[in-house]
Chain A
Amino acid sequence: MPLERLRKPWPDHRAERTLGAVSLLVGAVILAMVVFVTVRAWPIFEHNGLSWLGSGGNLEDEITRMTAASSNPTAADYHLRAWPVIYGALLTTGIALVLGLVLALLSSIFIVELAPARVRNVVIPVVRLLASVPSVIYGLIGILVLVPYVGNHLVTEQQRQSMQGTAQLTGESLLVAVVILTVMITPIMIALICEALTAVPPSWREGAIALGLNPLRAVRAVTLRAIRPAIVAAAVLATARALGEAVMISMVSGGKFFTPRPSDGVVFLYEPLRTLASTIVDYREGISSPPLGATIYSFAFLLLFAAFALSVAGYLVKLPLRKYQTRG
């Protein structure tokens, strides 16, 4: 009977076919998702070409017009220039990635190469735990602690006056978003880099030391070179998490389509912004208005595309590094 046959050890060919079917299913689900998002986002491409990725419009006005559009929208309702949110996503992710990568590299070298075993045995599980904290918790800490602190203690009266009429410095800012984002992505990178560091054969470093390098220079010359593919992999994963972060950014970044200007000096850090993902959260209620729905899906499309581009880029960067790889 079929059930009894299922309980017996499976012949190879059947196991192979079953596993193949499951993995094909995963592929099919992803494909279906991409197709669905693309179809929903299509009106934006249809009406704007690719120029919706550019600047030059007033995103605030465009979204307001979309919200008020009737269920038979005109072509003008679909007008979109999404640069402020793309810039917001790139800015927060970029700064957080650079900060996080430096922190992660230094702390992983400390944890693996220098720390005594007792410290290492505590720190590694703690890092793993940090890497799995849900982002909404970081968002709550941001909005209850960091935002009021920045708004009431760091931003000065003078700075507030200088930005009057353009943007309000409430403490919901680029600074808080980047700080929390860095805290969120660093543990992932530390966990991955630590693993790679422990996999480097000790004999390589010993050899370098025997040749006359001091321990820190040996780490730099041999160990770090050996784990370059792992560093790239960690950075790609961290970038993907940072780009897709929606809820936390929506809570702490100041809900305003604004492009922070580095030319403003310190005030730059206190300026509000929105990212692709946080805009989706902020405007999710408007998804049934056709133009706004298409806009939200076009942002989702961009995030999907970025995820795809990231994994391809990660693969391409790793190719020439293959020769340094320690395993496989």
Chain B
Amino acid sequence: MHRFRRLSLAFAVAGVVGVAAPVAANATALVTISGATSSYPLVALLTAKYVKLHPHKIRFKVTQGGTTVGINDVKAGSVTIADVAQEPTSADAGLTFYPIAKYAICVITNKSNPVSNLTAAQVTSIFTGKTKEWSSALGGATAAGPITVFSRTSVAGVLTSFKSLLLEGKSVVSSATEEASEGLMRQAVESSPTGIGFVSNFQANKGGLNVASIGGVACNQSTAASGQYPGVSVFYEVTRGKATGAASAFINWVDSSASAKKIIESQWVAIPPAA
């Protein structure tokens, strides 16, 4: 009898908490974000930190789907912020672009094939399949025979940026092997002596690979920050009109706070706060 009463009390309490908690959560601001898969890891880290710093004040719902999906969603007003991994175009009138971070896309080869430097034209020619064989003219390559081109699956944001920044918008040769993630891309190039691929700078500079300079500029955080390196992609947060309310507070925090800068600089390149 006693046990039953205690148990029913416990259930009642649990029920009240279960109903009340979501109600309380609804009182906080909800910011919805959709867009680029490439910047998703960064945005996920930033939003998680922001929620921790402002408990019970804000909630985020972050989904991926690609830059185009994000831009369409924010134009239609179905999300507050779009994650965008490409430069603004004329079709984006009425949207405000807030740059949040940069990263460089490096061209990588096998450790046994020390390609030191490629011209921008050589990179385009190799990845579009015009140059098919290794020769020492390609930045002092020591490999011989057909070039094995590794690319990424078409859902990868880094592939879209790579094409627009370093391939003059052209497509990677259709015979290229597609890898599903940056890690698999690294592994593929590490184990293929004739391989060439591309990864973001924080993956490239972990060692185990040869990273080629492009047009004489090495690929690393500092050349990306200075803007010398040609393959630098910028992540934007995009809103319809100017950002307002909770979204604006979040973007300001990303732009100026030390804790956001720390997260960005763990793997990406921070952008100096707007004057």
Contact = CB atoms under 8 A, between A and B. Distances in A.
B155 A1 contact: no
9 contacts: A2-B4, A3-B7, A67-B154, A71-B65, A147-B191, A283-B153, A285-B156, A288-B69, A289-B66
A167 B179 CA distance: 14
A288 B67 CA distance: 11
A287 B146 CA distance: 35
A50 B165 CA distance: 40
A121 interface: no
Contacts of A272: 177
A37 B239 CA distance: 33
A16 interface: no
Contact of B153 (A70, A251, A282): A282
A164 B69 CA distance: 35
B174 A60 contact: yes
A177 to B, nearest CB: 14
Interface stretch (B44-52, B180-188, B223-231): B180-188
B96 interface: no
Contact of A67 (B132, B150, B155): B155
A161 B63 CA distance: 43
Contacts of B184: 143, 251
A223 to B, nearest CB: 46
A255 B154 contact: no
Nearest to B63: A288
B229 to A, nearest CB: 26
A286 B66 CA distance: 7
A87 to B, nearest CB: 18
A165 B132 CA distance: 9
A282 B180 contact: yes
Contacts of A64: 154
B238 to A, nearest CB: 15
Given A165-B129, A281-B180, A72 B145 contact: no
Contacts of B73: 71
Interface stretch (A126-134, A168-176, A200-208): A168-176
Majority secondary structure, B binding face: mixed
A318 interface: no
| In the complex, the 3 A-B pairs of residues with the closest C-beta atoms, listed nearest first | A288-B65, A286-B155, A255-B178
Nearest to A143: B187
A209 B124 CA distance: 74
Interface in A275-299: 281-283, 285-289, 292
Interface residues of B, number: 40
Contact of A250 (B145, B180, B191): B180
Contacts of B37: 285-286
Majority secondary structure, A binding face: helix
A151 interface: yes
Contact of A160 (B69, B145, B177, B180): B145
Contacts of B187: 143-144
A60 B171 CA distance: 12
Output the residue of B66, B145, B150 with the most chain A CB within 10 A: B66
B177 A256 contact: yes
A304 interface: no
B66 A67 contact: yes
Contacts of A216: none
Given A63-B154, A272-B177, A286-B37, 12 more contacts: A3-B3, A60-B174, A165-B129, A165-B132, A167-B175, A168-B146, A168-B149, A170-B177, A170-B188, A285-B64, A286-B66, A289-B69
B176 interface: yes
Given A64-B154, A170-B192, A255 B179 contact: yes
Contacts of B69: 70-71, 288-289
B233 to A, nearest CB: 17
Interface residues on A, range: 35 or more
B258 to A, nearest CB: 31
A68 interface: yes
B200 to A, nearest CB: 15
Contacts of B176: 168, 256
Interface in B1-29: 1, 3-4, 7
Output the residue of A161, A172, A287, A288 with the most chain B CB within 10 A: A288
Given A281-B180, A285-B64, A161 B145 contact: yes
Interface string A244-269: 00000011001110000000000000
Output the residue of B3, B4, B154 with the most chain A CB within 10 A: B154
A289 B176 CA distance: 24
A69 B68 contact: yes
Contact of B175 (A1, A166, A172, A250): A166
Given A143-B187, A255-B178, A151 B68 contact: no
Contacts of A63: 154
B201 interface: no
A157 interface: yes
A165 B175 contact: yes
A170 B146 contact: no
B17 to A, nearest CB: 22
Contacts of A71: 65, 69, 72-73, 76
B72 A70 contact: yes
B34 interface: yes
Interface in A62-78: 63-64, 67-72
